Amino acid sequence: MNGRRMVINCSSMRPTALLFAITLLAAAGAQVKPAWTAAEQPIADQLRTLRQVPDETRGEVTRRLAVETRRLPATPNKLRLAEGLANLATEGDFGAGTLQDVATTLAETLRERPVPDEKGAPAMPYRTLAQLIRYERVQVSLQAPPLAAALALLEQLDRRRASANFALRDLDGKEWSLSALRGKVVLVNFWATWCPPCRKEMPDLNALYSRFRDQGFLVLAISDEDTGKLAAFVKEHHVAYPVLLDPGGKVSEQFGAEGIPKSYVYDRDGKLAAIAIDMRTRSQFLAMLSKAGLTP
């Protein structure tokens, strides 16, 4: 979901935050630019510019695109569009109905045109749908072994995240260990300077950190980018919370952070309380923090 990067598999993050055309190609494993039909081209064009649509109308536009995509003939391009829309639909809070329509379109497209496994694992469209089901609470009628396998993989990942630990240094050289932060509510956020959804949610993270830090709330933002680039970005954007360095993306791999931004909230006992698979609004972050016992 959204600002995905590095390599295109479970071990790291795919480039959904880059050009949407690249996202569409990666979603279906294509190696060449799709040749859109007359019916597909307008949808593809609107998806490329969906992030430019104001948030107050983006949900409505997304739902319309989901319905229009669902009506297309069952082709590889339809799957590219359906998964591309699913990746973009979670970038904020556009309503449960919007996510349901998007998930229904992706599920029905996979029913029409099943996708083989990739290197022994469920193909990315099934994993995208599984994330919508598990974390966004949508419901689909698709009964397919790859989807069941994708859901099982997410369950395994959540068990790993629940017991995760790391020791990373921030931009000032201070070491932070997750296990040493018991007694605090900790939000672990995977991000990158080049990721538009990451940048969009950062002001809200900054505001929440300032608001709740005296109550024992901590944001740990993790990136594998160059130290100099991160330091310049943090200074320019006045990021108040710690930014940790993850050379080689080893911690992101430990978390199975397949796309960015990704956020994980741990309560004061160190228990995993909430997961966000994409950028969140301030109200969505507040709902996550409430699950960890932190309330205004």
Contact residues for 234 (Cβ-Cβ < 8 A; gap 6+): 171, 243
Task: Give the three-class secondary structure for 280.
Answer: coil
- Residue closest to 243 by CA, chosen among 190, 207, 293, 186: 190
Host H or E run for residue 275: strand 272-276
Catalytic residue chosen out of the listed positions 138, 157, 198, 275: 198
Nearest 10 degrees: Cα torsion 68, 70, 75, 79: 100
Known active-site residue 195:
no
Alpha carbon dihedral 88, 136, 107, 77, in 10-degree steps, equals: 10
Sequence-distant (≥ 6) Cβ neighbours of residue 272 within 8 angstroms = 158, 161, 162, 264, 265, 266
- Contact by Cβ (8 Å): 185, 8: no
**DSSP string of 176-234, one letter each residue:** EEGGGGTTSEEEEEE--TT-HHHHHHHHHHHHHHHHHGGGTEEEEEEE-S-HHHHHHHH
Spatial distance between the Cα atoms of 159 and 190, rounded to a whole number of angstroms: 18
- Residue 145, preceding peptide bond in cis (omega within 30° of 0): no
> Which residues are part of the catalytic machinery?
198
